[in-house]
Amino acid sequence: MVKVKQDGFAEDRRFAGSRPHVAPPEGAAGVPAWLLVRAATLLTPARAAAAVSKLGPRAALDAVAEEISQDAAEEIADGVGGLSDTQLWSLVRALEPGARALARFDAAERRGARGGRGRGSG
């Protein structure tokens, strides 16, 4: 067996020796990584249900996602003794993709429940 390395994939100066990316100390999107990880654990089906309960079952997915991410960020802020407005806004924005996915999942589950296929059945 012979291994031939392709020139196009060489780990040379073009790719800085293919060094791994080192995240900035302030974390992603200006949010410290530990804070973002902790906040992401709050993106739960129960939080989505609470957002829908607050906004109504016909609320737009984007509104539900915004409510989920805002609520989770505020809970984290309370837990750490407060965040600046900039940090809170950055955390809300960093959580939005996960909150949007959760809102879509919740909406699909509610549609399934109306059709006779609720959570846990299948």
HEC sequence for 36-105: HHHHHCCCCHHHHHHHHHHHCCCCCHHHHHHHHHHHHHHHHHHHCCCCCHHHHHHHHHHHHHHHHHHHHH
pLDDT tens readout for residues 97-115: 999 999 999 998 888 876 6
This prediction's pTM: 0.68
Say if residue 24's pLDDT is above 60: no
Q: Residue 34: its pLDDT value, please?
A: 81
Domain boundaries, the chain: 41-111
Q: How confident is the model at residue 31 (pLDDT cuts 50, 70, 90)?
A: confident
Does 6 score more than 60 pLDDT? yes
Residue 118 has pLDDT above 70, yes or no: no
